[in-house]
Structure 1
Amino acid sequence: METSNLRKVDPVKHEQKRGEILHAAIRCFARDGFRGASTTDICTEAGISPGHLYHYFASKQAIIEAMIDLGLAYAAERLEKILAAPDVIEALLADIEETCLRLRPTQVLNMDGLAESARNPEFAKIIQRHTDAFRRLWADFLRRAQDQGRMDPGLDADTTANILIALIDGSRALPIRNPKLDVRQHVEHLRTMLVRFLRPPEAGSATSKPRSQKTVRPLKLVTKR
């Protein structure tokens, strides 16, 4: 029997190259939009041929799906760090400032993604999947913070997650709506809002309704298979 001459794929190098292509695609999407950036543009940005691209991603949609999963994994890591911080609300505020108010690519990608989903039903399904998974991450984070006595136990975690997602989307839009936005002033007002909304009431307050204690578990990331 003849020995196969096919090269064995190095999984580490494969994932590394896949990551390079994915980050090249993110740069293209941030620059030209999800609709405007083509696979040819992505290949040029990544320094590969179109034929080479399909060893890693079957289509432009597959690239976008992978980008969504990367973003969710990053969000899960950030929420774990926030939960481990001495002051969970201050850590949450710092994260919103860094990733929403000061990071231009996420602002552009977020706005363009919502716009594209409004006119493209297939893209809308991708955004909805991302939002569902993102909501579950936030709701789980909130329940764990409540169980630790660090957030108001009377808040419904799922509803609060929706409100925080809306706040995050709005914060990303603000610097685009107003390029002269005073970020520090906005952060100070946002701090007041989050403290009043999320901080647990004083011990013994009639408005405090403790949740049943549960085992603290790590945030679970659900990705498309």
Structure 2
Amino acid sequence: MRKVDPVRHGQKRGEILHAALRCFVRDGFHGASTTDICVEAGISPGHLYHYFPSKETIVEALVQDSLARAASRFEAILASPDVIEALLTEIENTSIHRPEAQVLSAEALAEACRNPAFARIVHEHARAMRTLLVGFLTEAQRRGNVDPGLDPEATANVLLAIVDGARALPIRNPTVDIKQSTEHLRIMLTRFLRPTAVQTPPAAEKKRRTCGPLGLLKKRNEPRR
């Protein structure tokens, strides 16, 4: 029995997945066939089935690879000097500035609406991604990088919705000002995620005591000179 070289096997598997990804971007998940993937990868159907028995298993493999990269990126973001800045850069690079992600995101949602098997894959990916994001936010809160008053689960849902919306933006409006939209996205998410000051600045506190209701009453009761 021939021994499988794990290095060559991994390389060929990666080549097939990249070929499939190109087909999905070009023809959609529904339009791309296993024959198209074989042609793109330069292999025979029998060779393809040695690695992936169906198109669904190819999609599942792409999802698992995506989740592994996301887990690695979250660890890198947590190790960054500015966690919020690193997270914003990651969101930009995986949404607004990545055309293939925009196409695949729209295609995945459309296919999930008509294909129950594909919907299961999409739901599992979303659930796993949400779990990763909740873990990231919880750790970032523990380290003081993210507002501790935010609920991690609700915040993860909001961030995923924002990423989906950011990916759809260039599709909805091809003439959108990407630079301006990115700047506004940064402002919005920074205000949303960054912790607020725990203590009131001394100057502001002094002004509050002087100009607050009690301070104003005190001033009114003071004899005029």
TM-score by length of 2: 0.86
Aligned residue runs from structure 1 range 11-160, under 5 A: 11-160=6-155
> Gaps (5+ residues) in structure 1?
1-5, 206-225
Q: Which has the larger radius of gyration?
A: 2
Q: Which has the higher contact order (CA 8 A, sep 6+)?
A: 1
Q: Report what 1:201 is aligned to.
A: 196
Q: Report what 1:188 is aligned to.
A: 183
**Cα offsets for 1:160-190 (capped at 9, x unmatched):** 0000000000000001111222111111111
Alpha-carbon offset, residue 204 of structure 1: 3.5
| Percentage identity across paired residues of the two chains | 62
Does the 8 Å CA contact 1:116/1:123 hold for their aligned counterparts?
yes
SS of residue in 1 equivalent to 2:50: coil
Alpha-carbon offset, residue 84 of structure 1: 1.5
**Cα offsets for 1:1-41 (capped at 9, x unmatched):** xxxxx321111111110111011001100110000000000
* RMSD of aligned residue pairs (Cα, Å): 1.0
**Cα offsets for 1:25-80 (capped at 9, x unmatched):** 01100110000000000000000000110111111110000011011111112212
> Gaps (5+ residues) in structure 2?
201-225
Whole-angstrom distance in 1 between the partners of 2:85 and 2:12? 37
Q: How many residues align?
A: 200
Q: Report what 2:219 is aligned to.
A: none
Q: Report what 1:208 is aligned to.
A: none
Alpha-carbon offset, residue 122 of structure 1: 1.1
Alpha-carbon offset, residue 132 of structure 1: 0.3
One-letter code of the match for 1:84?
A
TM-score by length of 1: 0.86
